[in-house]
Amino acid sequence: MDQDQLTRALFPEASSRVALVRLDETWQAMLERHHYPPAIQTLLGELLAAAALLASTIKNDGRLNLEIRGEGALSLVTIECGANGEMRGLARWQEPISTEGDLQSLTGGGLLVMTTETAAGKRYQGIVSLEGNSVATVLEHYFRESEQLPTRLWLSTSDQRASGFLLQQLPGEREADSWERLQHLSQTITDEELQTLPAPELLHRLYHQESMQMLQPQDFRFHCRCSAERVTRVLVSLGRREMEETLEQEGEVKVDCEFCNQVYRFDEEDIARLFGDPNEPMVH
Ligand SMILES: [Zn+2]
């Protein structure tokens, strides 16, 4: 129940929406591939849950990319999510990193960047400075500044699960005081409920007096978009000379995917094939 799933509902009279997500295998797949210091693991899990909550509005084959770009020891936390629910993400940092650091002390300030891309390749990007000391407050600030959509977020992570809860206004007319009432009801959610209470029970506990319309749930999973074909395209774009130099120095061209740790190796023959004539000797 609820595993790697997003539950969502509308409040038609309040022109608002609510979404609850629990990421289990998706989250564990990311933790299996990299060891993160605890403070960074928490930020990564919170950004993962937030991206799933926000990706539930992207259409068809669109994609969402949510990034924290820091200026301090933590330079990047990035999460990608497709409309099909495929997610991947990573963090980049430099040691030493404090074990209890909050968002501001880890990043030393920086930016939140949200990019959505349509299936046709059209990109929209919103950027705000990192205001606030948690992923939730930074995103609430983003929606206030950049989208003018009042939004509340609650995020919680453990080694097993990344959970998130979102309450957001939608454009349109609303009953007077309905937003205040929903906020008031929502903020009684506890960390424990967010992590463990089954979604239907949680929504019932919070909103049983409201008129609420359930929408189709959405599934998520870890999937990395890297492939031999994509790596090949990058190598070709770098050019034959650079590949020849690497071959000469290292004996092979080796590419590691930072998201999933997949290793792609190319020997002299592979590289020769990439650049056309397989019979012609590469190194003179
Ligand atoms: Zn990969």
Alpha carbons 62 and 122: distance in angstroms, whole number: 9
Ligand 1 mean position, distance from CA 228 (Å):
10
Tell me the CA–centroid distance for residue 248 and ligand 1, in Å: 26
150, 244: one domain? no
Kindly give the distance from the C-alpha atom of residue 167 to the centroid of ligand 1, in angstroms, as a whole number. 33
pLDDT tens digits, one per residue of 161-212: 999 999 999 998 998 899 999 999 999 999 999 999 999 999 999 999 999 9
Cα 61 to ligand 1 centre (Å): 19
* 203 and 266 fall within a common domain: no
Amino acid code (one letter) for 50: A
Ligand 1 center to 27 CA (angstroms): 15
3-state secondary structure of 246: helix
Ligand 1 centroid–CA 54 distance in Å is 23
For residue 262, the CA-to-ligand 1 centroid distance in Å is 6
Q: CATH number of the domain at 232, please.
A: 3.90.1280.10
The predicted pLDDT at position 99 comes to 72
Question: In a structure prediction context, what are the per-residue pLDDT tens digits for the chain, which is 284 residues long?
Answer: 789 999 999 999 999 999 999 999 999 999 999 999 999 999 999 999 999 999 877 776 789 999 999 999 999 999 999 989 999 999 999 988 877 778 999 999 999 999 999 888 899 999 999 999 999 999 999 999 887 889 999 999 999 999 999 999 999 899 889 999 999 999 999 999 999 999 999 999 999 999 999 999 999 999 999 999 999 999 999 999 999 999 999 999 999 999 999 999 999 999 999 887 655 555 54
In a domain, 280, yes or no: no
Q: What is the pLDDT of residue 284?
A: 46
Let me know whether 15 and 140 are in one domain. yes
Assess if residue 282 is contained within a domain.
Answer: no
Q: Distance, CA 227 to ligand 1 centroid (Å)?
A: 7
What is the whole-number distance in angstroms between the Cα of residue 2 and the centre of ligand 1? 26
Q: Are residues 181 and 236 in the same domain?
A: no
Q: How far is the CA of 264 from the centre of ligand 1 (A)?
A: 10
Is residue 110 domain-shared with residue 23, that is, in the same domain?
yes
The range of the structural domain enclosing residue 171 comes to 5-222
> What spacing in Å lies between the alpha carbon of 137 and ligand 1's midpoint?
30
Same domain, 232 and 214: no
Ligand 1 centre from 63 Cα, in Å? Answer: 17
Å from CA of 131 to ligand 1 middle: 31
Q: Which CATH number does the domain housing residue 44 bear? A: 3.55.30.10
How far, in Å, is the centroid of ligand 1 from the Cα of 281?
31
**Would 159 be classed as within a structural domain?**
yes
Same domain, 246 and 202: no
CA of 200 to the centre of ligand 1 (A): 35
Q: Structure tokens of 271?
A: 């590289």
The number of folded domains in the chain is: 2
**Does residue 88 form part of some domain?**
yes
Same domain, 14 and 154: yes
Domain check: are 76 and 122 in the same one?
yes
1: CA distance to ligand 1 center in Å?
28
Paired sense of beta strands 86-93 and 221-222, if any: parallel
Same domain, 202 and 150: yes
21 C-alpha to ligand 1 centroid (Å): 24
The answer on 113 and 63 residing in a single domain is yes
Shared-domain flag, residues 238 and 98: no
Give the list of residues 6+ apart from residue 96 with CB closer than 8 angstroms, or none.
Answer: 73
Q: What is the pLDDT of residue 283?
A: 52
Structure tokens of 33? 């591939």
Give a yes or no: residue 284 inside a domain.
Answer: no
Q: CA separation (Å) from 279 to 64, 246, 250, 283? A: 44, 20, 21, 12
Q: Whose CA is closest to 81, among 21, 15, 32?
A: 21
In a domain, 279, yes or no: no
Residues with Cβ within 8 Å of residue 39, at least 6 apart in sequence: 97, 98, 99, 100, 101, 102, 106
